[in-house]
């Protein structure tokens, strides 16, 4: 197993390199880079623009942006501005260097977890990520936990009562839930329960109320759960279908195996057969897939939910960074999520051997 782990760790290096290179190249062709953002602000609101230029003075140079050669006309909104001023902007943002040099400088900094400074927030990217991470982790953990706690018992029940009316109508419910995008369901929850036109039972912004630090411990817990109810509900609704049907099919496959018939012939109770014999084999894929499911929630589900409910997490941070062309944040969050995803995939593989010791990755070729 140690050789397999070492091999997987070495394979992470070219994988991470390829992902970062591909996204860096894509950013070279995205219009409206940071220089153009500042120029647009300069032509519209001089004070705001000059403030952003000043903040950009300490920006990290190891970021991606379209590199344009030539005079001021190469940027939108640069007509009539001093070419030296444009050159100073490029130098402040680090775009006076060739793309390949910026890319390898960025990778060198990332290897020592130096993610540089945000272009327009006047703070280090590492500080921003650490500050926003608890919100996204909280949403991801609650979503994955509730999804598993509901879907696994439901899938087992459906397998035991396969073909019954219970199996049919619950299948209809989970399929309908899967068909509704989580962001659309989130909007529906806001309209119905967050003062969007009907009831005003739940708050719409943040994970805590004002003055939360002064609350007693029970009040803090109650306030936190009150705020997180709608976002988590919106995220879990689409996750029930896949996990429930996977659990059901896994159990159905095991229930008809010879060892189950033997256990029943020995007079074991149905619960002992299901949870003492079938569960370990049927749950192999489901339980071992938890790390991948968790990172999937963070990658795909958090962004729009954080935007809709105004939750100050990594999803909202990344969204605002893309809109504002704050490339240090965009690339740093991409690097962080990619690295986290690669390690969690390795953890998922190792869980297979914990759940079923018969699995040995050392025997695999390559």
Quote the pTM value: 0.70
Lowest mean pLDDT among 217-231, 245-259, 266-280: 266-280
Q: What is the pLDDT of residue 76?
A: 55
Site of tokens 């942006």:
65
Lowest mean pLDDT among 43-47, 68-72, 316-320, 324-328: 68-72
Q: Collapsing DSSP states into helix, strand and coil, what is residue 30?
A: coil
Residue 66: pLDDT band with limits 50, 70, 90: very low
Sign of CA dihedral 304, 307, 309, 315: positive
Per DSSP, 68 falls in state: -
Q: Which of 44-58, 59-73, 98-112, 351-365 has the highest mean pLDDT?
A: 98-112
Rounded Cα distance, 277 and 251, in Å:
11
User: What would the pLDDT profile of 75-128 be if each residue is shown by its tens digit?
Assistant: 555 555 556 766 666 666 667 677 788 888 888 888 888 888 887 777 888 888
Q: What are phi and psi of 196, to 5 degrees?
A: -85, 5
User: What would the pLDDT profile of 180-220 be if each residue is shown by its tens digit?
Assistant: 887 888 888 888 888 777 888 888 777 778 787 788 888 88
Q: What is the pLDDT of residue 73?
A: 45
Q: What is the pLDDT of residue 299?
A: 63
Q: What is the pLDDT of residue 32?
A: 67
Helix ranges (DSSP H) in the chain: 2-27, 34-44, 46-55, 83-93, 99-111, 125-160, 165-179, 182-193, 217-236, 240-255, 258-265, 270-273, 279-282, 284-288, 290-296, 302-308, 314-324, 327-355
**Residues of 176-204 as b/e, b for ≥16 C-beta within 10 angstroms?**
ebbeeebbebbbebbeebbeeeeeeebbe
Q: What is the pLDDT averaged over residues 262-287?
A: 77
Residue 211 structure tokens: 């003055």
- The percent of residues above 90 in pLDDT, for the chain, comes to 0
Q: What are phi and psi of 204, to 5 degrees?
A: -105, -20
Structural domains of the chain ordered from first start: 2-126 (no CATH), 127-363 (1.10.3720.10)
**20, pLDDT greater than 60:** yes
Q: What are phi and psi of 194, to 5 degrees?
A: -120, 35
Q: What is the pLDDT of residue 246?
A: 82
Rounded Cα distance, 231 and 305, in Å:
6
Residue 325 structure tokens: 């062309």
- Residue (of 155, 165, 140, 141) closest to 241 by Cα position: 155
Q: What is the pLDDT of residue 42?
A: 65
């Amino acid at each position: 197993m140690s050789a397999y782990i070492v091999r997987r760790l070495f394979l992470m290096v070219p994988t991470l390199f390829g992902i970062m290179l591909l996204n860096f190249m894509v950013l070279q062709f995205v219009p409206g880079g940071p220089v153009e953002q500042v120029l647009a602000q300069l032509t519209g609101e001089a004070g705001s623009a000059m403030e952003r230029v000043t903040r950009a003075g300490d920006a990290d140079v190891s970021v991606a942006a379209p590199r344009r050669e030539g005079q001021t006309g190469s940027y939108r909104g640069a007509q009539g501005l001093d070419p030296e001023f444009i050159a100073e902007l490029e130098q402040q943002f680090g775009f006076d260097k060739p793309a390949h040099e910026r890319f390898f400088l960025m990778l060198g900094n990332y290897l020592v977890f130096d993610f540089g400074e945000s272009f327009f927030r006047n703070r280090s990217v590492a500080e921003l990520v650490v500050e926003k991470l608890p919100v996204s982790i909280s949403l991801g953990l609650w979503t994955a936990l509730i999804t598993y706690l509901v879907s696994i018992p439901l899938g087992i029940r459906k397998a035991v009562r396969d073909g019954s009316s219970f199996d049919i109508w619950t299948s209809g419910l989970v399929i309908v839930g899967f068909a509704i995008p989580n962001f659309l369901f989130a909007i529906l929850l806001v309209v119905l329960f967050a003062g969007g036109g009907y009831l005003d039972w739940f708050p719409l912004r943040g994970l805590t109320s004002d003055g939360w630090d002064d609350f007693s411990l029970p009040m803090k817990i109650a306030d936190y759960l009150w705020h997180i109810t709608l976002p988590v509900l919106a995220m879990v609704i689409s996750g029930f279908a896949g996990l429930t049907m996977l659990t059901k099919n896994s159990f159905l496959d095991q229930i008809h195996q010879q060892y189950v018939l033997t256990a029943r012939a020995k007079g074991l109770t149905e619960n002992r057969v299901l949870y003492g014999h079938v569960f370990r084999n049927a749950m192999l894929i489901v339980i071992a897939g938890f790390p991948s499911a968790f990172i999937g929630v963070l990658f795909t589900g958090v962004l729009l939910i954080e935007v809709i409910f105004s939750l100050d997490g990594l999803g909202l941070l990344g969204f605002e960074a893309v809109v504002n062309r704050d490339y240090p944040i965009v690339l740093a969050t991409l690097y962080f999520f990619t690295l986290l995803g690669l390690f969690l995939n390795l953890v998922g593989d190792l869980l297979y051997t914990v759940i079923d010791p018969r699995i040995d990755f050392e025997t695999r070729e390559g």
